[in-house]
Amino acid sequence: MSDARHRRSRDVAGEDARRGGRERRTDGEGTPSPVPAKREIVRLLNETDDSAVLALFARADRVRRKCVGDAVHLRALIEFSNHCRRNCLYCGLRRSNGKAVRYRMTVDEILAAASEAAAMGFRTVVLQSGEDPGYAVEDLCGLVRNIKTGTGMAVTLSIGERSRDDYGRLKEAGADRYLLRFETSDPLLFRKLKPDSVYEERFRCLRWLSELGYQVGSGNMVGLPGQSEESLADDILLFRELDLDMIGLGPFIAHPDTPLRGSPDGTIDRVLRVTALARIVTGNAHMPATTATGTIDPRGREKALQCGANVLMPNVTPQRYREHYLIYPGKICIAEEPARCRFDAETMVSSLGRTIGRDAGDSLKRPDRRTGKRPSPGEDPPGGHTAPRES
């Protein structure tokens, strides 16, 4: 891809971010914090010196401790439908996968699972599905209202692209946060892997969500076929440019019932490097140690928590549905009861000398109500480089 074409594609996302009404993050005294050069991020993604890689992870852990503290926030994940209108090449939920056993939880079932999560002590519930048109926005709004009034939990939605009106109605109903991963900032790779999605529309939706006052999460997939280190560096810099409240990233894992069957999976080393760099670049975004990271490495989530992550998302989906929500194969935590998933998460956090967050874990990028200032973004960027970001 030519540099000119890439700059034009990045300009689309950057303009949407700027128009979203967010200030550029500062160092707490009104001075913009430095942005690392793209070449420095690429160098660290390619670093072969093990001691330098360990130093990167340690630096990310220091930034995490300074910017978000030692608390690990637990979010209760409910995967309430595996129907999807999209045909993404990498995803086991793609509409053309005739082998998928489809399900939709009823609104009452979702509310019951959320109530169970609240009883276990969760302060946030994440409602996730494929892009399923089977739920009317009125029903989803009623669900959100009932969860808010019945449990007091923060509600995060991860249900894909919808209209601005739908997003607005869901926000008015009480939804606090929205997760919408862009997966890759490379427009050509995006269009190849998501053939029935529109690159510009993805970022338009992220802008709408920001304008409507959501705490906004996005992220990428690491190790996609055709993904370069330069593309990953662009992803990391875009996390900052979008000023995301939450960043979710995990490895590509090839699904046997998709067109990418047999492709090499992403590696734990690459995922941890991207996690560390994302933490250093963005400072105080909330970042989960994802289930996919734990799927490619038995200690993947622990490792991610040690190089930048500060969130875990135990699965509280009813077991009869959980085995059918397979974006990728080999997913961990399929057989455990919800209470066991939470217990295992707490044990993991304790083993690392960390604590469980006791509040809802709202965005740290919002101004402090007392001072009107945003929290400090933390340490310098990788290598202490303060040059303007390269295009």
Q: Output DSSP code: residue 288.
A: B
Kindly compute the dihedral angle of the four CA atoms of residues 52, 53, 56, 62, in this order, to the nearest 10 degrees: -110
User: Per-block average pLDDT, block size 10, for the chain (391 residues)?
Assistant: 42 46 39 68 97 97 97 98 98 98 98 98 98 97 98 98 98 98 98 98 98 98 98 97 97 98 98 98 97 97 98 97 96 93 97 97 73 44 31 27
pLDDT in tens, 222-253: 999 999 999 999 999 999 999 999 999 999 99
Count of all residues that appear for the chain in the document = 391
Any bridge partners for residue 355, and if so which?
71
Structure tokens at 41: 């991020």
Q: Which residue has 């900052």 as its token pair?
A: 240
Half-sphere exposure for 283 (CA within 13 Å, toward CB): 25
Q: What is the pLDDT of residues 91-137, one digit of tens each?
A: 999 999 999 999 999 999 999 999 999 999 999 999 999 999 999 99
Distances (CA, A) of 105 to 78, 109, 129, 325: 10, 6, 10, 12
Q: Domain coordinates of the chain in residue numbers?
A: 3-384
Distance set, CA 380 to CA 11, 114, 275, 282, 377 (Å): 25, 40, 16, 11, 9
User: How many Å apart are CA 293 and CA 271, to the nearest integer?
Assistant: 8
Closest Cα partner for 108 from 78, 72, 87?
A: 78
Locate 349 and state its tokens: 């956090």
For residue 191, which amino acid is it?
Answer: R
Query: What does the DSSP 8-state code read for residue 290?
Result: -
Alpha-carbon span 54 to 233, nearest angstrom: 19
**What is the number of other CB atoms lying within 10 angstroms of the CB of residue 29?**
7
CA–CA gap between residue 252 and residue 93 (Å, rounded) = 14
pLDDT of residue 367: 58
Cβ atoms 223, 184 nearer than 8 A: no
The pLDDT value given to residue 11: 52
Close Cβ partners of 12 (under 8 Å, ≥ 6 residues apart): 199, 200, 203
Helices H / strands E in the chain, number of each: 14, 9
pLDDT recorded at residue 33: 46
Q: Is 322 exposed, middle or buried (0-12, 13-18, 19+ CB in 10 A)?
A: buried
The structure's pTM equals: 0.88
Label residue 279 exposed, middle or buried (CB < 10 Å: 0-12, 13-18, 19+): buried
Write down the pLDDT at residue 36: 72
Say what the pLDDT of residue 29 is.
33
For 3-384, CATH gives 3.20.20.70
